[in-house]
Structure 1
Amino acid sequence: MEAVTSPTAPTRAQVRRWRQYLADERAEAAAYRDLASRRTGEEREILLALAEAERRHEQHWLDLLGDEVGKPLRGDWRTRVLGWLARRFGSVFVLALAQRAEARSSYDDDADATAQMAADERIHEEVVRGLAMRGRNRMSGTFRAAVFGANDGLVSNLALVMGIGASGVSQQTVLLSGLAGLLSGALSMGAGEYVSVRSQRELLEASRPGPHARAALPHLDVDANELALVYRARGMAPQDADAHARQVLGSLEASGAALVVPVDPDGPEGAARPEDATAGAPEVDEHETVGTAVGAALASFCFFASGAAVPVVPYLLGAEGWHAVAWSAGLVGIALLVTGAVVGLLSGTSPARRALRQLAIGWGAAAVTYLLGLAFGTTVG
């Protein structure tokens, strides 16, 4: 990559900006190397390649700075946090942070950065997204149940406690109502999640090719090509289905192995996707993405119960009236901010925006029930 040279002496503002870019590139390269040290195989090679790309960007700023490099600066605080986490964990959370870091690149709007560098950062975001995809899929079933359970527990029990409390009943009645809401809601969530995930897994299993079909492949007539009907039924165009079926049947003589195309759950109208070396992407197990029914049920039960316990805590400690309402709303608000930020982080979007959205939804629901409690009850003592 050619270094960009300035026709005139750089300004102090430019030097400061270049030095910060240099520090950030060094920190990101170190984070990728740390992540690579916790990986093996292809993932390790990809992360080391990303680190090498960041080193090339680092060299660009070194060439621009020349004698103005000065004392090394510390990277952006978010990049330093990423590096600290990469050295200690290397989980999907760290990859999600790395994805966010790549998305924040300002090279598109900086005349001192090359178009190639700006393009690199955009592609790096997609590379890291791909690395994080497997971890997200692996945890999505149980994680979904955990997040929904905790959020439902926080919001529903806060709304219940505030609605009952606003009606003017005693502190003991509010506490009993909150505990009853915790237990009944957690049981309901756990049972519902079990049925939901179990049903979804059964539906996925019903869409998988049967073993008897695989065993019949060696005996099919290549000219009749009945296998093409399977691919057409699963969404392939007739010409593509015929060509792929002939390829599969032809490979039987050489390898003795056969592959049947499953339904792609992410494709349009049950589009087919060949399970062969030309697919271009690692196969994702739909069952792994959905999670186990027992795991999802337990996660939903436990997280709903933990979320529903938060608004009850002030009443357990003996708080009454406005003080209990304020403490419940405040504690639940903090918990909603945390769950929203975690969801935002893992989904690769803004944690702050997701956190504020969770807070607005939760407090909005609680406010409605509180107003209804005031309207149909007496007043908070």
Structure 2
Amino acid sequence: MTDAGRGVQPERHHRHRDVTGGWLRPAVFGAMDGLVSNFALIAGVAGGQASRQVVLLAGLAGLAAGAFSMAAGEYISVASQSELAEAEIEVERMELTRHPVAEEQELAGVFEARGVDPETAAEVARQLSRDPEEALEVHAREELGVTPGDLPSPVLAAGSSFLSFGAGALLPVLPYVLGASSLWPAAVVAALGLFGAGALVSRITARPWWFGGTRQLLFGAAAAAITYGVGALIGTSGL
């Protein structure tokens, strides 16, 4: 009798999305940061009663400076993290070469701590330790939480951050590029962008689209309102 005839459900294979890659966090953070920070910058300058040309210059300068700063920061951050992981992996590689028996016992202890009986844990550790590269991968994953050869790419992180920040920062500048002379068109575009970006991000998380969009809109609006008030205060006081 088949499994279906016995009422046993067939195995269903499924695929997971990549949650460890180096592109998603800098891309999301870059787009949000570009949109919020540059809109807030434009709002602050506009609040000081600056001319259209000054606001436009400030927005374009903020876009360029922020994009390069984000890319450089992401590259150095991810590169430093990867270099640290590679150094620790090399330490583990040396330990496996110098003390193979102790490392095999250590690996067996890891499996035992997860509920595997001692005999089975020792046998699994013995079999895994026969291949040095396989043993290194298991030790690195269990002890360091990383996989050799699958570390985040600094170039990918920097590129994602640069492009996404630039795209986000460009939205509130576009109305001024197209001839707008007041803050309202930029505010409308930025608000739509904030809500849309938050809603889009919610598609790859467990949050409802309206929650993600509203949350991002509120944070962006608060930042812009505060900087607009600062700009208006400084412009009024003549500092």
TM-score by length of 1: 0.51
How far, CA to CA, are the matches of 1:207 and 1:216 in structure 2? 15
Asked if structure 2 preserves the Cα contact closer than 8 Å seen for 1:228 and 1:244, the reply is no
Change (3 A) 1:215 1:264: closer
Q: Partner of 2:65 in structure 1?
A: 184
Identical residues among aligned pairs (%) = 37
Change (3 A) 1:234 1:187: farther
How far, CA to CA, are the matches of 1:206 and 1:189 in structure 2? 26
Q: Partner of 1:46 in structure 2?
A: 12
Q: Partner of 1:50 in structure 2?
A: none
Change (3 A) 1:236 1:160: farther
Q: Partner of 1:226 in structure 2?
A: 102
Change (3 A) 1:163 1:235: farther
> Could you report, residue by residue, the CA deviation over 1:31-70 in whole angstroms, capped at 9, with x for unpaired residues?
xxxxxxxxxxxxxx626xxxxxxxxxxxxxxxxxxxxxxx
Structure 2 unaligned regions, length at least 5: 1-10
The structure 2 residue matched to 1:137, chosen from 19, 22, 25, is 19
Which residue type is aligned with residue 298 of structure 1? G
Change (3 A) 1:378 1:286: farther
> Could you report, residue by residue, the CA deviation over 1:47-104 in whole angstroms, capped at 9, with x for unpaired residues?
6xxxxxxxxxxxxxxxxxxxxxxxxxxxxxxxxxxxxxxxxxxxxxxxxxxxxxxxxx
Following superposition, the deviation at residue 341 of structure 1 comes to 1.3
> Could you report, residue by residue, the CA deviation over 1:262-299 in whole angstroms, capped at 9, with x for unpaired residues?
2557xxxx588xxxxxxxxxxx84874x6311011011
TM-score by length of 2: 0.77
The structure 1 residue matched to 2:186, chosen from 323, 328, 334, is 328
The structure 2 residue matched to 1:317, chosen from 151, 168, 178, is 178
How far, CA to CA, are the matches of 1:354 and 1:196 in structure 2? 27
Following superposition, the deviation at residue 308 of structure 1 comes to 0.9
Q: Partner of 2:228 in structure 1?
A: 370
Which residue type is aligned with residue 127 of structure 2? S
How far, CA to CA, are the matches of 1:250 and 1:364 in structure 2? 58
Following superposition, the deviation at residue 235 of structure 1 comes to 10
Following superposition, the deviation at residue 240 of structure 1 comes to 7.7
Q: Partner of 2:131 in structure 1?
A: 257
Following superposition, the deviation at residue 244 of structure 1 comes to 7.1
Change (3 A) 1:286 1:335: farther
The structure 1 residue matched to 2:161, chosen from 278, 293, 300, is 300
How far, CA to CA, are the matches of 1:286 and 1:306 in structure 2? 33
**Highest CA radius of gyration, 1 or 2?**
1
Q: RMSD over aligned Cα, in angstroms?
A: 3.5
- Alignment map for 1:22-33 (pairs within 5 Å): none
Asked if structure 2 preserves the Cα contact closer than 8 Å seen for 1:145 and 1:296, the reply is yes
Structure 1 unaligned regions, length at least 5: 1-44, 48-127, 273-283
- Aligned residue for 2:236, secondary structure, equals coil
How far, CA to CA, are the matches of 1:263 and 1:287 in structure 2? 11
Following superposition, the deviation at residue 236 of structure 1 comes to 7.2
Following superposition, the deviation at residue 232 of structure 1 comes to 8.8
The structure 1 segments of at least 4 consecutive aligned residues displaced by more than 3 Å after TM superposition are: 209-217, 228-237, 239-246, 248-252, 255-258, 284-288
How far, CA to CA, are the matches of 2:117 and 2:225 in structure 1? 57
Asked if structure 2 preserves the Cα contact closer than 8 Å seen for 1:166 and 1:370, the reply is yes
- Aligned residue for 2:18, secondary structure, equals helix
Q: How many positions carry a matched residue from both structures?
A: 223
Following superposition, the deviation at residue 318 of structure 1 comes to 1.8
Q: Which has the higher contact order (CA 8 A, sep 6+)?
A: 2
Following superposition, the deviation at residue 346 of structure 1 comes to 0.4
Following superposition, the deviation at residue 368 of structure 1 comes to 0.4
